[in-house]
Amino acid sequence: MEEGRGSNPQKPSAIIVNVKFAGRNIPVEVSADATVNELKSLLQPLTNVLPRGQKIISKGKVIGDEMTLRSSGIVNGSKIMLMGSQGLHQGVYVKRSDHERRWQVTGVLGLSDSGLKAIPDEIWNCGHYARLLDLNNNSVKDVPAKISRLDSLTKLFLNANGIEDKSLSWEGIASLKHLEILSLNENQLTIIPSNLGALRSLQQLHIANNKLTSLPTEIGLLTALEVLKANNNRLNTIPNSIGGCASLVEIDLSCNLLTELPDTLGTLKDLKALYLRNNGLTSLPTTIFKFCTKLSTLDLHATEITVDHLRQFEGWDSFDERRRLKHQKQLDFRVSSSGQFDEGADRK
């Protein structure tokens, strides 16, 4: 699930501005709250004109550098004119590399499978223009505190880098107030610190295939969290505060060391899918079917929980009907699903 169901009112809204310059039309993606001077910095590598030689004209008026696009009446789709003063083209100015210019224009920093051992310094130059950083499948061990410079980042992918606790700056990550997706799968993490609770815009947290033994109590502060994938770890407990994650739709706790779950998990009204296979569980919260009225996928393979036990729970019949209906739809559309309810749980 890539996008959240609700928009974050604090998220910077990106707009497309059409800039007319030297007979060309240059579409530029920029934050509506960016200043005119910041827009000029974006235009520099695209026009070869230094910011001090640029004049931005909207509706026949020159717009001052310190004004924001929003306050200047520039909105998505607006057409503006750029005039470049003679003698202020870049000359001996060292141009940015092609990929850095592309990063600043698109906001997408894609560096997966690049054989990297460290985050390139060019990344930090992107500042608040960066919206997505993908460093999957590299050997980037160190994620420094200056990742906080990417303060408009909404998606951060750090899968399969061998990252250890000591080399990951949670202080830096916690400052990314607009972060919606954080993916740290297939690393060497043993702990998720309390800083996690600062990521109030987070909608998806992927921490599978690490060495985690617990989750912080502060996870309950993530009221926008919709997807939690913490499978294939060493979790032996889930904090009661999980009940605070009222937006959770999907939880995957498969292949851990859990013997019980907190009762608060049975209060998540939006929960649709719960994966618990390969744990030492013998029961579920008794309210799981009563209050989780959207639950239709429950994977209990390789646990001690039987269907006979679950049938005693209030709300079982409604859950069973939803489960069967979903399974039938999957058959009708010939869609295979590894997450369907484990019929093998009938074993006593």
How far apart CA 255 and CA 257 sit, in angstroms, is 7
At residue 192's C-alpha, the angle toward residues 187 and 193, to 5°, is: 145
The HSE-up count of residue 121 (CA atoms within 13 Å, CB side) is 1
List alpha helices for the chain, DSSP H. 36-47, 98-106, 121-124, 170-174, 288-291, 307-310, 316-332
In tens, the pLDDT along 164-221 reads 999 999 999 999 999 999 999 999 999 999 999 999 999 999 999 999 999 999 999 9
Domains and CATH numbers, the chain: 14-84 (3.10.20.90), 98-346 (3.80.10.10)
Q: How far apart are CA 167 and CA 183, in angstroms?
A: 16
Tell me the mean pLDDT in the region 27-39: 91
pLDDT digits (tens, 9 = 90+) for 228-251: 999 999 999 999 999 999 999 999
**β-strand pairing of 24-31 with 227-229:** unpaired
Task: Return the number of other C-beta atoms located less than 10 Å from residue 101's C-beta.
Answer: 15
* pTM listed for this prediction: 0.70
Amino acid at 242: I
